[in-house]
Amino acid sequence: MPSLKAYNTFGVDVDAKEIQIIQRADDLLALNGSPEDYFILGGGSNMLLTQGIDKIVLKNEIKGIEVLQENDEGVVLQIGGGENWHETVLWCIDKGYAGFENLSLIPGTVGAAPIQNIGAYGVEIKDFILGVHAYDLQEKKAVIFNKQSCQFAYRDSIFKQAAHKGRFFISSIVVRLSKDVFQVNTDYGAIQLVLDHLKVDVPTITDVSNAVISIRQAKLPDPAEIGNSGSFFKNPVVSADKYERIQEKYEKVPSYPIGDQYKIPAGWLIEQCGWKGKRVGHTGNYEKQALIIVNYGEATGQEIYEHARNVRASVAQKFDIDLEFEVNII
């Protein structure tokens, strides 16, 4: 039974029944089983394996980037789902295609990017998606989702919802990027601060990407050195009432208004509960960002999961907020 340790960024050591590499979309046509017989794997950077996988693991290695349309304003690309996300971002920047630069250095594959509608620094993949090509393992046919039918939301899409999870193998995505390289988005996080520090007045997409990379490298643990899956929880959105109650006690609670509600950083809530940098056995919360749960090397998926549930329980007790897992618990 092959080990999946090298195939998940938490570095959890569990076995799979079998690993089958998918190199071309046509390989999918030969799959005779039902969705329950398979487990779809990209880069393993958004999952916590709490048990072995007694299924055939389909490892997405469908490569290739094709220019479908191009004019002076922009370009439409079809990108193979097995392409590495960050390498794709760098390829686009090199060609002068603008849009993905704020999403630099996110681990994983292109095919997994629409699943949780990856986002960072004020940008989400949904901003560029025209369509998603997938193979329906249930009906055994290729299907195309237009942007609307993907039902994108904050770290969510139709592909992540329980009723559809594991049914559609995303083989490629179709995106529109701009050639207007000066339409960069530097408002979010510390991007503008870094650019000011470097004395960049009119940032190019390369400048923005480099700023994002340096911020992320300073703040996030590299899975090659310390196992993790990035943000473990989603940032909760709470009612104005609840927000005001928290604010009465914690004057400086950070928040972003969303309509008449407020999004509060989950990392802040977890930090207030005393978890930042706290180690419990082989797991714990990262010292620079409490939102990230790490594996110090020997943790089992069950141990990490139990820790995550304890973190969630303490936030619920202190703030009456139920955090939702961003990471897929398998």
| 80 lines the binding site for ligand FAD (CB under 6 A) | no
Nearer to ligand FAD, 56 or 316 (CB): 56
Nearer to ligand FAD, 161 or 317 (CB): 161
| 236 lines the binding site for ligand FAD (CB under 6 A) | no
| 285 lines the binding site for ligand FAD (CB under 6 A) | no
Q: By CB under 6 A, which span of 109-117, 143-151, 299-307, 311-319 interacts with ligand FAD?
A: 109-117
Nearest CA to 329 out of 49, 11, 64 is that of: 49
CB of 280 to ligand FAD, least distance (A): 20
Q: By CB under 6 A, which span of 227-235, 249-257, 281-289, 296-304 interacts with ligand FAD?
A: 227-235
Residue 12 near residue 4 (C-beta atoms within 8 A): yes
Please, is 317 exposed, middle or buried when counting C-beta atoms within 10 Å of its C-beta (0-12, 13-18, 19+)?
exposed
Could you confirm whether 287 is annotated as catalytic?
no
E strands, the chain, in order: 16-22, 38-41, 47-48, 53-60, 65-70, 74-80, 119-120, 123-124, 129-136, 141-146, 168-178, 227-231, 237-239, 256-258, 261-263, 279-280, 283-285, 292-295, 328-329
Could you confirm whether 124 is annotated as catalytic?
no
State which of residues 14, 113, 195, 212 lies at the interface with ligand FAD (CB under 6 A). 113
CB of 118 to ligand FAD, least distance (A): 3
Edge-to-edge strand ranges of the sheet holding 279-280: 227-231, 292-295, 283-285, 279-280
CB of 304 to ligand FAD, least distance (A): 13
| 89 lines the binding site for ligand FAD (CB under 6 A) | no
Nearest CA to 48 out of 322, 274, 292 is that of: 292
Active-site position among 83, 101, 104, 155? 155
The residue count for binding ligand FAD (CB under 6 A) is 33
Could you confirm whether 324 is annotated as catalytic?
no
| 115 lines the binding site for ligand FAD (CB under 6 A) | yes
State which of residues 4, 14, 60, 174 lies at the interface with ligand FAD (CB under 6 A). 60
| 88 lines the binding site for ligand FAD (CB under 6 A) | no
Q: By CB under 6 A, which span of 29-37, 114-122, 184-192, 280-288 interacts with ligand FAD?
A: 114-122
Residue 102 near residue 192 (C-beta atoms within 8 A): no
- The alpha helices in 179-263, defined as continuous H runs, are 191-197, 205-219, 240-249
CB of 202 to ligand FAD, least distance (A): 26
Nearer to ligand FAD, 77 or 246 (CB): 77
In sequence order, the 6+-apart residues with CB closer than 8 A to the CB of 244 are: none
Neighbours of 21 (CB within 10 A): 12
Residue 176 near residue 98 (C-beta atoms within 8 A): no
DSSP state of 112: T
Task: Give the active site residues.
Answer: 155, 231, 326
> Which residues here bind ligand FAD, judged by CB under 6 A?
9, 40-47, 60, 81, 106-109, 111-113, 115-116, 118-120, 159, 168-170, 220, 223, 228-230, 328
